[in-house]
Amino acid sequence: MKILSVIISSAMLLSACSMAAQDNSGSNNNEKRERHHTGRVIYQDDFTNTAAETVNGVVSVKSYATPRQSYGNRGGYDPFVDDPFFEFFFGSPRGGRRQQQEQPKAEQRQIGLGSGVIISGDGYIVTNNHVIADAERLEVTLNDNRNYSAEVIGTDEVTDLALIKIDAPDDLHVIPLGDSENLLVGEWVLAVGNPFGFTSTVTAGIVSAKARNISAQFGQGARGIESYIQTDAAVNSGNSGGALVNLKGELVGINAAIYSSTGNYAGCSFAIPTSIVQKVVSDLKQFGAVQRAYLGISFMELTPELVKEKEIKGTNSGIYVAEVQERSAAAEAKLQKGDIIIALDNYPTLSTAQLQEAITKFSPGSKVTVTYIRNGKRNVSTVTLRNNHGNTAVTRPDTPESLGAEMADADETMLKSLGLSHGVTVKSVDPDGRFAEAGMKKNFIILMINGQRIDKADTVTKLYKAIRQSDSRDKVMFISGIYPDGQQAYYAVPLND
Protein backbone atom coordinates (compact mmCIF):
# COMPACT_ATOMS: atom_id res chain seq x y z
CA MET A 1 0.00 0.00 0.00
CA LYS A 2 2.80 2.41 0.85
CA ILE A 3 4.60 1.68 -2.40
CA LEU A 4 1.43 2.19 -4.39
CA SER A 5 0.71 5.53 -2.77
CA VAL A 6 4.21 6.73 -3.61
CA ILE A 7 3.80 5.73 -7.25
CA ILE A 8 0.43 7.49 -7.52
CA SER A 9 1.81 10.62 -5.88
CA SER A 10 4.79 10.62 -8.24
CA ALA A 11 2.53 10.20 -11.24
CA MET A 12 0.33 13.08 -10.12
CA LEU A 13 3.39 15.26 -9.63
CA LEU A 14 4.73 14.45 -13.08
CA SER A 15 1.34 15.19 -14.61
CA ALA A 16 1.15 18.52 -12.81
CA CYS A 17 4.66 19.46 -13.94
CA SER A 18 3.76 18.49 -17.52
CA MET A 19 0.64 20.66 -17.46
CA ALA A 20 2.60 23.56 -16.03
CA ALA A 21 5.16 23.22 -18.79
CA GLN A 22 2.43 23.19 -21.42
CA ASP A 23 0.81 26.27 -19.89
CA ASN A 24 4.09 28.15 -20.13
CA SER A 25 5.04 26.88 -23.58
CA GLY A 26 3.50 29.81 -25.37
CA SER A 27 4.82 32.52 -23.07
CA ASN A 28 8.24 34.02 -22.54
CA ASN A 29 7.24 35.67 -19.25
CA ASN A 30 9.15 34.37 -16.18
CA GLU A 31 10.28 31.28 -18.15
CA LYS A 32 13.64 30.12 -16.77
CA ARG A 33 15.14 27.16 -18.54
CA GLU A 34 18.54 25.80 -19.54
CA ARG A 35 19.84 23.01 -21.69
CA HIS A 36 20.97 19.83 -19.94
CA HIS A 37 24.17 18.12 -21.13
CA THR A 38 21.93 15.52 -22.82
CA GLY A 39 20.37 18.26 -24.96
CA ARG A 40 17.02 18.12 -23.12
CA VAL A 41 15.54 21.44 -22.04
CA ILE A 42 14.84 21.55 -18.30
CA TYR A 43 12.91 24.04 -16.24
CA GLN A 44 13.89 25.77 -13.01
CA ASP A 45 11.96 23.36 -10.84
CA ASP A 46 13.64 20.31 -12.37
CA PHE A 47 16.44 18.95 -10.15
CA THR A 48 17.89 16.54 -12.72
CA ASN A 49 20.75 18.79 -13.79
CA THR A 50 21.87 19.38 -10.21
CA ALA A 51 21.60 15.67 -9.42
CA ALA A 52 23.59 14.70 -12.51
CA GLU A 53 26.33 17.19 -11.63
CA THR A 54 26.72 16.00 -8.04
CA VAL A 55 25.93 12.30 -7.76
CA ASN A 56 29.34 11.27 -9.15
CA GLY A 57 31.09 13.40 -6.55
CA VAL A 58 29.68 11.40 -3.63
CA VAL A 59 31.24 8.08 -2.62
CA SER A 60 30.43 5.17 -0.36
CA VAL A 61 32.73 4.77 2.64
CA LYS A 62 32.99 1.39 4.38
CA SER A 63 35.00 0.91 7.55
CA TYR A 64 36.46 -2.39 8.75
CA ALA A 65 37.97 -3.48 12.06
CA THR A 66 38.93 -6.63 13.90
CA PRO A 67 36.55 -7.51 16.75
CA ARG A 68 38.28 -7.07 20.09
CA GLN A 69 39.06 -10.44 21.68
CA SER A 70 38.01 -11.13 25.25
CA TYR A 71 40.20 -12.79 27.82
CA GLY A 72 39.45 -15.20 30.62
CA ASN A 73 36.99 -18.07 30.81
CA ARG A 74 34.04 -15.78 31.31
CA GLY A 75 34.76 -13.64 28.27
CA GLY A 76 35.76 -10.69 30.47
CA TYR A 77 38.29 -9.50 33.01
CA ASP A 78 38.53 -11.63 36.16
CA PRO A 79 40.80 -10.06 38.82
CA PHE A 80 41.60 -13.51 40.25
CA VAL A 81 42.36 -15.07 36.89
CA ASP A 82 43.62 -12.24 34.70
CA ASP A 83 45.49 -9.95 37.12
CA PRO A 84 49.23 -10.48 36.51
CA PHE A 85 50.13 -9.27 40.01
CA PHE A 86 47.87 -11.93 41.56
CA GLU A 87 49.65 -14.47 39.39
CA PHE A 88 53.08 -13.08 40.28
CA PHE A 89 52.60 -13.07 44.04
CA PHE A 90 50.16 -15.94 44.58
CA GLY A 91 50.44 -18.11 41.48
CA SER A 92 47.60 -19.27 39.28
CA PRO A 93 44.38 -20.02 41.22
CA ARG A 94 44.10 -23.26 39.26
CA GLY A 95 47.54 -24.38 40.38
CA GLY A 96 50.70 -24.14 38.33
CA ARG A 97 51.32 -21.55 35.72
CA ARG A 98 48.20 -20.36 33.94
CA GLN A 99 48.03 -21.36 30.34
CA GLN A 100 46.59 -18.76 27.99
CA GLN A 101 43.72 -20.22 26.05
CA GLU A 102 44.05 -20.48 22.31
CA GLN A 103 41.98 -17.78 20.65
CA PRO A 104 40.80 -18.18 17.07
CA LYS A 105 42.33 -15.56 14.82
CA ALA A 106 39.79 -12.80 14.42
CA GLU A 107 39.12 -11.44 10.95
CA GLN A 108 38.21 -7.90 10.04
CA ARG A 109 34.54 -7.21 9.56
CA GLN A 110 32.58 -4.21 8.39
CA ILE A 111 31.68 -1.92 11.27
CA GLY A 112 30.40 1.14 9.46
CA LEU A 113 28.88 2.44 6.26
CA GLY A 114 28.52 6.06 5.25
CA SER A 115 29.16 8.55 2.51
CA GLY A 116 31.89 10.98 1.54
CA VAL A 117 32.34 13.95 -0.78
CA ILE A 118 35.20 14.32 -3.26
CA ILE A 119 36.58 17.83 -2.75
CA SER A 120 39.71 17.74 -4.93
CA GLY A 121 40.90 15.97 -8.06
CA ASP A 122 43.88 14.45 -6.25
CA GLY A 123 41.65 12.22 -4.14
CA TYR A 124 40.79 14.14 -0.96
CA ILE A 125 37.41 13.21 0.48
CA VAL A 126 35.55 14.75 3.42
CA THR A 127 33.23 12.65 5.57
CA ASN A 128 31.98 12.44 9.16
CA ASN A 129 34.35 11.39 11.92
CA HIS A 130 31.76 8.94 13.26
CA VAL A 131 31.73 7.16 9.87
CA ILE A 132 35.39 6.15 10.16
CA ALA A 133 35.83 6.00 13.95
CA ASP A 134 37.53 2.79 15.18
CA ALA A 135 38.30 1.72 11.62
CA GLU A 136 41.43 -0.26 10.88
CA ARG A 137 40.79 -0.18 7.14
CA LEU A 138 38.69 2.07 4.89
CA GLU A 139 37.24 1.20 1.53
CA VAL A 140 35.86 3.85 -0.82
CA THR A 141 33.55 3.01 -3.72
CA LEU A 142 32.94 5.58 -6.44
CA ASN A 143 29.61 5.97 -8.18
CA ASP A 144 30.94 3.95 -11.13
CA ASN A 145 31.77 1.05 -8.76
CA ARG A 146 35.53 1.56 -8.72
CA ASN A 147 37.00 0.56 -5.35
CA TYR A 148 39.95 2.14 -3.53
CA SER A 149 41.61 1.85 -0.15
CA ALA A 150 41.68 5.14 1.75
CA GLU A 151 44.06 6.59 4.30
CA VAL A 152 43.04 8.92 7.10
CA ILE A 153 44.62 12.36 6.80
CA GLY A 154 43.04 13.77 9.92
CA THR A 155 39.96 13.69 12.11
CA ASP A 156 38.15 16.16 14.33
CA GLU A 157 35.73 14.82 16.92
CA VAL A 158 34.61 18.29 17.96
CA THR A 159 33.01 19.06 14.59
CA ASP A 160 32.50 15.38 13.59
CA LEU A 161 34.53 15.82 10.41
CA ALA A 162 37.27 13.69 8.88
CA LEU A 163 39.53 14.03 5.86
CA ILE A 164 40.56 10.89 3.99
CA LYS A 165 42.42 10.32 0.71
CA ILE A 166 42.46 7.79 -2.10
CA ASP A 167 45.05 7.30 -4.84
CA ALA A 168 42.95 7.44 -7.96
CA PRO A 169 43.18 8.68 -11.58
CA ASP A 170 42.68 12.35 -12.34
CA ASP A 171 39.13 11.84 -13.63
CA LEU A 172 37.52 12.16 -10.19
CA HIS A 173 34.35 14.22 -10.15
CA VAL A 174 34.75 17.12 -7.72
CA ILE A 175 31.80 18.92 -6.16
CA PRO A 176 32.67 22.64 -6.04
CA LEU A 177 32.62 24.34 -2.65
CA GLY A 178 29.76 26.75 -2.05
CA ASP A 179 29.19 29.38 0.62
CA SER A 180 26.77 28.18 3.30
CA GLU A 181 26.50 31.71 4.68
CA ASN A 182 24.64 32.77 1.55
CA LEU A 183 21.98 30.08 2.05
CA LEU A 184 18.52 31.41 2.73
CA VAL A 185 15.83 29.74 4.81
CA GLY A 186 13.34 28.28 2.33
CA GLU A 187 15.97 27.71 -0.38
CA TRP A 188 15.94 24.37 -2.20
CA VAL A 189 18.75 21.92 -1.39
CA LEU A 190 19.53 18.31 -2.34
CA ALA A 191 20.99 15.61 -0.08
CA VAL A 192 23.19 13.12 -1.94
CA GLY A 193 24.38 9.92 -0.28
CA ASN A 194 23.96 6.21 0.36
CA PRO A 195 21.06 5.68 2.79
CA PHE A 196 20.79 2.07 4.02
CA GLY A 197 23.50 1.17 1.49
CA PHE A 198 21.43 2.29 -1.52
CA THR A 199 24.06 4.11 -3.56
CA SER A 200 23.62 7.33 -5.54
CA THR A 201 20.48 8.45 -3.75
CA VAL A 202 19.24 12.03 -4.13
CA THR A 203 16.54 13.61 -1.95
CA ALA A 204 15.21 17.17 -2.07
CA GLY A 205 14.11 19.60 0.59
CA ILE A 206 14.43 23.19 1.72
CA VAL A 207 16.60 24.93 4.26
CA SER A 208 14.41 24.85 7.36
CA ALA A 209 16.73 26.79 9.68
CA LYS A 210 20.37 27.79 10.12
CA ALA A 211 22.76 27.81 13.09
CA ARG A 212 20.85 25.03 14.84
CA ASN A 213 22.24 23.50 18.04
CA ILE A 214 20.38 20.21 18.48
CA SER A 215 22.00 19.16 21.78
CA ALA A 216 20.85 22.33 23.51
CA GLN A 217 17.47 22.13 21.80
CA PHE A 218 16.69 18.71 23.23
CA GLY A 219 18.36 19.09 26.61
CA GLN A 220 21.39 16.91 25.89
CA GLY A 221 24.94 17.53 27.02
CA ALA A 222 27.41 19.33 24.81
CA ARG A 223 28.57 17.18 21.90
CA GLY A 224 31.07 19.59 20.41
CA ILE A 225 30.65 22.43 17.96
CA GLU A 226 27.11 22.44 16.60
CA SER A 227 25.84 25.06 14.17
CA TYR A 228 23.88 22.91 11.76
CA ILE A 229 21.89 23.67 8.64
CA GLN A 230 18.47 22.14 9.27
CA THR A 231 16.63 20.78 6.23
CA ASP A 232 13.66 18.57 5.48
CA ALA A 233 15.54 16.59 2.82
CA ALA A 234 15.23 12.91 3.71
CA VAL A 235 18.45 11.68 5.35
CA ASN A 236 18.89 8.22 6.89
CA SER A 237 21.57 5.88 8.14
CA GLY A 238 24.29 5.75 5.48
CA ASN A 239 23.77 9.38 4.42
CA SER A 240 26.29 10.51 7.04
CA GLY A 241 29.20 12.27 5.37
CA GLY A 242 27.24 12.86 2.17
CA ALA A 243 26.68 16.12 0.34
CA LEU A 244 24.12 18.84 0.87
CA VAL A 245 24.14 20.93 -2.31
CA ASN A 246 22.30 23.99 -3.60
CA LEU A 247 20.65 24.08 -7.02
CA LYS A 248 23.91 25.32 -8.55
CA GLY A 249 25.43 21.96 -7.61
CA GLU A 250 27.71 23.57 -4.99
CA LEU A 251 28.53 21.89 -1.71
CA VAL A 252 26.96 23.84 1.16
CA GLY A 253 27.05 21.20 3.88
CA ILE A 254 28.04 17.70 5.01
CA ASN A 255 25.05 15.67 6.18
CA ALA A 256 25.67 14.53 9.73
CA ALA A 257 22.57 13.87 11.83
CA ILE A 258 18.83 13.46 12.03
CA TYR A 259 16.38 13.99 14.85
CA SER A 260 14.10 11.01 15.18
CA SER A 261 12.43 8.92 17.86
CA THR A 262 12.72 5.83 15.63
CA GLY A 263 16.27 6.20 14.30
CA ASN A 264 15.00 6.88 10.79
CA TYR A 265 14.08 10.09 8.98
CA ALA A 266 11.31 12.05 10.66
CA GLY A 267 11.41 15.40 8.92
CA CYS A 268 14.51 17.00 10.48
CA SER A 269 17.96 16.56 8.98
CA PHE A 270 21.12 18.40 9.94
CA ALA A 271 24.25 19.24 7.95
CA ILE A 272 27.58 20.79 8.95
CA PRO A 273 27.88 24.05 6.97
CA THR A 274 30.78 24.61 4.61
CA SER A 275 31.73 27.68 6.65
CA ILE A 276 32.95 25.16 9.24
CA VAL A 277 33.98 22.38 6.84
CA GLN A 278 36.33 24.61 4.86
CA LYS A 279 38.42 25.68 7.88
CA VAL A 280 38.55 22.19 9.42
CA VAL A 281 39.55 20.48 6.16
CA SER A 282 42.21 23.10 5.42
CA ASP A 283 43.77 22.62 8.89
CA LEU A 284 43.65 18.82 8.71
CA LYS A 285 45.31 18.91 5.31
CA GLN A 286 48.04 21.33 6.36
CA PHE A 287 48.68 20.43 10.01
CA GLY A 288 46.92 17.11 10.65
CA ALA A 289 44.98 18.79 13.47
CA VAL A 290 42.51 21.66 13.69
CA GLN A 291 44.02 24.95 14.80
CA ARG A 292 41.16 25.83 17.13
CA ALA A 293 40.86 29.29 18.66
CA TYR A 294 39.44 29.99 22.11
CA LEU A 295 38.08 33.18 23.60
CA GLY A 296 38.44 31.92 27.16
CA ILE A 297 35.01 32.37 28.71
CA SER A 298 32.27 30.35 30.34
CA PHE A 299 28.96 31.52 28.95
CA MET A 300 25.22 31.10 28.68
CA GLU A 301 22.91 31.91 25.82
CA LEU A 302 20.70 34.85 26.70
CA THR A 303 17.07 33.90 27.43
CA PRO A 304 14.05 35.99 28.45
CA GLU A 305 14.39 34.54 31.95
CA LEU A 306 18.07 35.51 32.16
CA VAL A 307 17.35 39.00 30.83
CA LYS A 308 14.79 39.48 33.59
CA GLU A 309 16.94 37.92 36.32
CA LYS A 310 20.06 39.96 35.50
CA GLU A 311 18.09 43.10 34.54
CA ILE A 312 19.95 43.24 31.24
CA LYS A 313 19.48 46.29 29.05
CA GLY A 314 20.47 47.07 25.50
CA THR A 315 19.82 43.63 23.98
CA ASN A 316 17.51 40.65 24.29
CA SER A 317 19.84 38.11 22.69
CA GLY A 318 23.51 37.31 22.76
CA ILE A 319 26.14 35.41 24.76
CA TYR A 320 26.15 36.14 28.50
CA VAL A 321 29.68 35.99 29.94
CA ALA A 322 29.46 33.93 33.14
CA GLU A 323 33.21 33.77 33.79
CA VAL A 324 36.40 35.10 32.25
CA GLN A 325 39.34 32.71 32.45
CA GLU A 326 42.70 34.01 33.59
CA ARG A 327 45.43 34.60 30.99
CA SER A 328 42.87 34.24 28.21
CA ALA A 329 42.02 36.26 25.12
CA ALA A 330 38.86 37.45 26.86
CA ALA A 331 40.89 38.70 29.82
CA GLU A 332 43.18 40.56 27.43
CA ALA A 333 40.11 42.20 25.89
CA LYS A 334 39.05 43.21 29.43
CA LEU A 335 35.73 41.41 29.13
CA GLN A 336 33.88 41.05 32.42
CA LYS A 337 31.29 38.79 33.95
CA GLY A 338 27.87 40.03 32.87
CA ASP A 339 28.97 41.33 29.47
CA ILE A 340 26.81 40.29 26.49
CA ILE A 341 28.83 39.38 23.38
CA ILE A 342 26.82 40.09 20.23
CA ALA A 343 29.46 39.78 17.47
CA LEU A 344 32.95 38.57 16.56
CA ASP A 345 34.24 40.74 13.73
CA ASN A 346 31.20 41.00 11.45
CA TYR A 347 29.71 37.65 12.48
CA PRO A 348 26.68 37.88 14.81
CA THR A 349 26.82 35.80 18.00
CA LEU A 350 23.23 35.98 19.19
CA SER A 351 23.12 32.25 20.02
CA THR A 352 25.48 29.48 21.12
CA ALA A 353 25.47 28.00 17.61
CA GLN A 354 26.34 31.35 16.04
CA LEU A 355 29.20 31.86 18.50
CA GLN A 356 30.56 28.38 17.77
CA GLU A 357 30.32 28.87 14.02
CA ALA A 358 31.98 32.29 14.23
CA ILE A 359 34.91 31.13 16.38
CA THR A 360 35.66 28.20 14.03
CA LYS A 361 36.58 30.67 11.28
CA PHE A 362 39.63 31.80 13.21
CA SER A 363 42.92 30.31 14.37
CA PRO A 364 45.14 31.00 17.39
CA GLY A 365 46.89 34.28 16.64
CA SER A 366 43.93 35.76 14.74
CA LYS A 367 43.04 39.31 15.75
CA VAL A 368 39.28 39.78 16.04
CA THR A 369 36.95 42.54 17.10
CA VAL A 370 34.61 41.64 19.96
CA THR A 371 31.39 43.63 20.15
CA TYR A 372 29.59 43.45 23.48
CA ILE A 373 26.98 45.15 25.64
CA ARG A 374 27.91 46.34 29.14
CA ASN A 375 25.44 48.22 31.33
CA GLY A 376 23.22 48.74 28.32
CA LYS A 377 25.97 50.35 26.22
CA ARG A 378 27.68 48.96 23.13
CA ASN A 379 31.46 48.44 23.37
CA VAL A 380 34.16 47.17 21.02
CA SER A 381 37.50 45.59 21.84
CA THR A 382 40.22 43.96 19.75
CA VAL A 383 41.74 40.69 20.93
CA THR A 384 44.27 38.08 19.80
CA LEU A 385 42.72 34.61 20.06
CA ARG A 386 44.68 31.75 21.65
CA ASN A 387 44.63 27.95 21.70
CA ASN A 388 43.45 25.86 24.65
CA HIS A 389 46.97 26.01 26.14
CA GLY A 390 46.84 29.79 26.31
CA ASN A 391 49.29 30.52 23.50
CA THR A 392 49.34 30.80 19.71
CA ALA A 393 51.60 27.83 18.93
CA VAL A 394 50.62 25.36 16.22
CA THR A 395 48.62 22.41 17.56
CA ARG A 396 49.91 19.04 16.44
CA PRO A 397 47.80 15.89 16.02
CA ASP A 398 47.14 14.08 19.28
CA THR A 399 48.07 10.60 18.11
CA PRO A 400 49.48 7.53 19.92
CA GLU A 401 52.89 9.02 19.18
CA SER A 402 52.10 11.67 21.82
CA LEU A 403 52.62 8.93 24.42
CA GLY A 404 56.31 9.37 23.64
CA ALA A 405 57.43 5.77 23.89
CA GLU A 406 58.91 3.06 21.74
CA MET A 407 57.27 -0.24 22.65
CA ALA A 408 57.84 -3.87 21.74
CA ASP A 409 56.49 -7.26 22.77
CA ALA A 410 58.21 -8.31 25.99
CA ASP A 411 61.08 -10.77 25.80
CA GLU A 412 59.95 -14.32 26.62
CA THR A 413 63.02 -14.98 28.78
CA MET A 414 62.34 -11.85 30.82
CA LEU A 415 58.69 -12.81 31.28
CA LYS A 416 59.62 -16.32 32.43
CA SER A 417 62.08 -14.93 34.96
CA LEU A 418 59.27 -12.84 36.41
CA GLY A 419 56.75 -15.65 36.25
CA LEU A 420 54.51 -13.82 33.80
CA SER A 421 52.89 -14.89 30.59
CA HIS A 422 52.49 -11.60 28.76
CA GLY A 423 53.56 -7.96 28.63
CA VAL A 424 54.86 -5.11 26.48
CA THR A 425 58.22 -3.49 27.15
CA VAL A 426 58.72 0.27 26.99
CA LYS A 427 62.10 0.36 25.26
CA SER A 428 62.55 4.14 25.36
CA VAL A 429 60.72 7.17 26.75
CA ASP A 430 60.62 10.61 25.15
CA PRO A 431 61.04 13.26 27.88
CA ASP A 432 58.33 15.37 26.21
CA GLY A 433 55.80 12.53 25.93
CA ARG A 434 52.80 11.65 28.09
CA PHE A 435 54.48 8.55 29.60
CA ALA A 436 57.43 10.63 30.80
CA GLU A 437 55.09 13.25 32.27
CA ALA A 438 53.42 10.45 34.27
CA GLY A 439 56.82 9.32 35.60
CA MET A 440 57.32 6.14 33.58
CA LYS A 441 60.90 5.02 32.89
CA LYS A 442 62.31 2.89 30.09
CA ASN A 443 62.27 -0.93 30.40
CA PHE A 444 58.94 -0.78 32.22
CA ILE A 445 56.77 -3.79 31.31
CA ILE A 446 53.14 -2.85 30.73
CA LEU A 447 50.79 -5.62 31.87
CA MET A 448 47.38 -3.97 32.12
CA ILE A 449 45.70 -0.82 30.84
CA ASN A 450 42.27 0.03 32.21
CA GLY A 451 41.72 -3.59 33.22
CA GLN A 452 42.71 -5.11 29.87
CA ARG A 453 45.65 -7.46 29.40
CA ILE A 454 48.41 -6.10 27.20
CA ASP A 455 50.27 -8.76 25.26
CA LYS A 456 50.96 -6.91 21.98
CA ALA A 457 52.48 -3.49 21.37
CA ASP A 458 49.71 -2.51 18.94
CA THR A 459 47.12 -3.18 21.67
CA VAL A 460 48.39 -0.05 23.46
CA THR A 461 47.73 1.98 20.31
CA LYS A 462 44.23 0.55 19.92
CA LEU A 463 43.37 1.29 23.54
CA TYR A 464 44.71 4.82 23.19
CA LYS A 465 42.37 5.45 20.25
CA ALA A 466 39.42 3.83 22.03
CA ILE A 467 39.90 5.99 25.12
CA ARG A 468 40.34 9.16 23.08
CA GLN A 469 37.11 8.44 21.18
CA SER A 470 35.11 7.54 24.26
CA ASP A 471 32.38 9.75 25.72
CA SER A 472 34.12 9.90 29.09
CA ARG A 473 34.88 13.40 30.32
CA ASP A 474 38.12 12.29 32.00
CA LYS A 475 40.09 10.27 29.47
CA VAL A 476 42.85 8.44 31.32
CA MET A 477 45.04 5.38 30.76
CA PHE A 478 45.46 3.55 34.09
CA ILE A 479 48.58 1.48 33.55
CA SER A 480 49.93 -1.25 35.79
CA GLY A 481 53.13 -3.17 35.25
CA ILE A 482 56.50 -4.15 36.58
CA TYR A 483 60.17 -3.28 36.11
CA PRO A 484 62.78 -5.98 35.36
CA ASP A 485 64.01 -5.81 39.00
CA GLY A 486 60.56 -6.87 40.18
CA GLN A 487 59.36 -3.43 41.28
CA GLN A 488 55.70 -3.03 40.44
CA ALA A 489 54.33 0.37 39.45
CA TYR A 490 51.10 2.08 38.52
CA TYR A 491 50.71 5.17 36.33
CA ALA A 492 47.79 7.40 35.41
CA VAL A 493 48.28 8.96 31.97
CA PRO A 494 45.67 11.66 31.16
CA LEU A 495 44.70 11.89 27.49
CA ASN A 496 42.57 15.03 27.64
CA ASP A 497 43.69 17.91 25.47
From 332, 334, 329, 341, select the one nearest 372 (Cα to Cα).
Answer: 341
Active-site residue (options: 115, 130, 275, 480): 130
Active site (annotated) includes residue 37: no
Active-site residue (options: 63, 115, 240, 421): 240
Active site (annotated) includes residue 240: yes
Strands (E), 280-365: 297-301, 319-324, 340-344, 347-348
Burial pattern 258-285, b for ≥16 Cβ within 10 A else e, equals beeeeeebeebbbbbbbbbbbbbbebbe
Neighbours of 237 (CB within 10 A): 15
Residues 6+ apart with CB under 8 A from 69: 103, 106
Active-site residue (options: 82, 83, 156, 160): 160
Active site (annotated) includes residue 422: no
Query: Are 332 and 341 within 8 A, CB to CB?
Result: no
114: burial class by Cβ within 10 Å (0-12, 13-18, 19+)? Answer: buried
DSSP secondary structure code for residue 294 in this structure: B
- E strand or H helix that includes residue 384: strand 377-384
| Residue 127, CA atoms < 13 Å, CB-side half-sphere | 36
Active-site residue list: 130, 160, 240
